[in-house]
Amino acid sequence: MSYLVRQYDQAIEQGNRTIELYPGSMLANDWLGATYEKRGHYDQANAAFLKSKELQGAPQSALAAYQSGYQKSGIRGYWQKELETAERSKSVNPCWMSRVYAHLGKKEQMLEFLNRSSQQHCSGPHTVIADPINDPFRDDPRFKDVVARLRLKRD
């Protein structure tokens, strides 16, 4: 995927084509949102993330809360609302939480949940090497340790 190799313009084109072909794809909207976010196109990122939530069946009240978070604090407000929602959930997916904390730039929490995700073998750690959201954490020895335990290589 172009997003993972930081070819964001191409990833945006691919994402939009995918959504044209599969308008109900929650995952395509999520990846498109992440790509827009990395490009600094926060309005489009927020719209794609909200569409992904809508396709997941989020109620209008939840969508309004995410939108409000975005309006108040930009894309960080969106992710803060995601964190609040996840913290209220009884079952926390460590893979997802590591991503949320990465978006918020919260290194300690991101590394904690990344470590948990590697131990619980949930889906998600396989992209940890390539996902640009993790770039700020790559030099941390704890990040490198998780990668080594997952036996992932970066060419």
User: b/e per residue, 10-20, with b = 16+ CB within 10 A?
Assistant: ebbebbeebbe
Output the average pLDDT for the chain.
89
pLDDT of residue 151: 67
DSSP assignment of 61-107 equals HHHHHHHHHHHHHHHHHHHHHHHHHHHHSSS--HHHHHHHHHHHT-H
CA–CA gap between residue 67 and residue 58 (Å, rounded): 13
Report the residue count for the chain: 155
In the chain, the percentage of residues whose pLDDT exceeds 70 is 93
Using DSSP's 3-state secondary structure scheme, residue 32 falls into: helix
What mean pLDDT comes out for the span 33-60? 96
What mean pLDDT comes out for the span 90-108? 88
What mean pLDDT comes out for the span 12-41? 95
Residue 109 has pLDDT above 50, yes or no: yes
What mean pLDDT comes out for the span 11-35? 95
Q: How confident is the model at residue 124 (pLDDT cuts 50, 70, 90)?
A: low
Residue 93 has pLDDT above 90, yes or no: no
Q: In terms of pLDDT, which residue wins out, 109 or 152?
A: 109
Q: In terms of pLDDT, which residue wins out, 147 or 105?
A: 105
CA–CA gap between residue 104 and residue 113 (Å, rounded): 13
Q: In terms of pLDDT, which residue wins out, 129 or 140?
A: 140
